Amino acid sequence: MYKIIDNFLPKEEFDQIKQVIIGYEFPWYLQNFVAYEDAPKKSHWYFTHKFYEQGRGATPFYSLIYEIFLKEKINCAAMIRVKANLYPKDEKFIEHDWHIDYNFNHNGAIFYVNTNNGYTILEDGTKIESIENRMLLFDSGKRHKSTNCTDTEYRININFNYMANN
């Protein structure tokens, strides 16, 4: 089961998030694999930025994410991880390997920062298009996969893993 919310943030809040993330001072960190370390497609790579992990904010930019997303927008009782993903444009379109985020029951959300021809594929085969300011709420303990893009310079999303309020 999943839910898509288009125009998730008011325009001012969305523009603020996007400008920070695509700004020159926002740090991105190279990851040598996408889905998991032993994935057969090890040549695929991307950049990440962890906002929150292991019970604490992992970056000065965490306060921006907390204020806009977590305070009231998603049904979050406890955060597990929040990270931004940047998949650079490639001439070849690539579907990454299937994966689950964590091996226990939890909730996931993907916020799409820019519109491009990439997408998220859920376990049942549903494809969720990357449309800016769209939020996907889903069970990230179930198999899913990501893609790169071929029509814009990059595909950016923010991935939330959390425990929901009952």
**Interacting residues of 71 by C-beta distance below 8 A, sequence separation 6+:** none
Give the pTM: 0.91
Domain ranges, ordered by start, for the chain: 2-36+43-164
Average pLDDT rounded to a whole number, residues 82-105: 92
- Per-residue pLDDT band for 107 (boundaries 50, 70, 90) equals very high
Nearest to 64 by CA among 162, 161, 165, 158: 158
pLDDT of residue 1: 87
pLDDT in tens, 69-91: 776 677 788 889 999 999 999 99
Q: State the chain's mean pLDDT as an integer.
A: 89
User: Which of 18-22, 33-37, 50-54 holds the top average pLDDT?
Assistant: 18-22
Quote the CA–CA distance of 30 and 63 in Å, as a whole number. 23
Average pLDDT rounded to a whole number, residues 113-130: 97
- Per-residue pLDDT band for 35 (boundaries 50, 70, 90) equals low
> 2-36+43-164, superfamily in CATH?
q2cbj1_9rhob like domain (2.60.120.620)
Conformation bin of residue 156: beta by default, left when phi > 0, alpha when psi is -120 to 50: beta
- Per-residue pLDDT band for 114 (boundaries 50, 70, 90) equals very high
CA within 13 Å, CB half, 124: 6
Out of 38-47, 59-68, 69-78, least confident range: 38-47
Nearest to 92 by CA among 112, 114, 127, 117: 117
